[in-house]
Amino acid sequence: MTVLVGRGLSNKEIAVALHLSSATVKTYVSQLLSKTGSRDRAQLVIYAYEHALV
């Protein structure tokens, strides 16, 4: 999931790629933001690059 966010995909694009609902992806992204201490998707992208996920 973090890899897909790191690549700049939207929630809808991630949902299609992983065969999930958009609501589920939104929940997962919110959980990732919380777990990584990121305040927004931009910081989550930075996190993905800093941890060699992308």
Residue-wise DSSP of 1-54:
-HHHHHTT--HHHHHHHHT--HHHHHHHHHHHHHHHT-SSHHHHHHHHHHTT--
CA distance 48 to 3: 7
pLDDT digits (tens, 9 = 90+) for 20-40: 999 999 999 999 999 999 999
Using pLDDT thresholds of 50, 70 and 90, give the confidence band for residue 54.
confident
Can you give the pTM of this predicted structure?
0.86
Which residue range(s) make up the domain with 35? 2-50
Q: What are phi and psi of 4, to 5 degrees?
A: -70, -40
What pLDDT shows up at residue 36? Answer: 94
CATH number at residue 20: 1.10.10.10
Count how many domains the chain has.
1
Name the token pair of 50. Answer: 């800093």
Predicted local confidence at residue 16, as pLDDT: 97
Q: What value does the mean pLDDT take over residues 40-46?
A: 93
The mean pLDDT value for 3-25 works out to: 95
Question: Residue 7 corresponds to which amino acid?
Answer: R
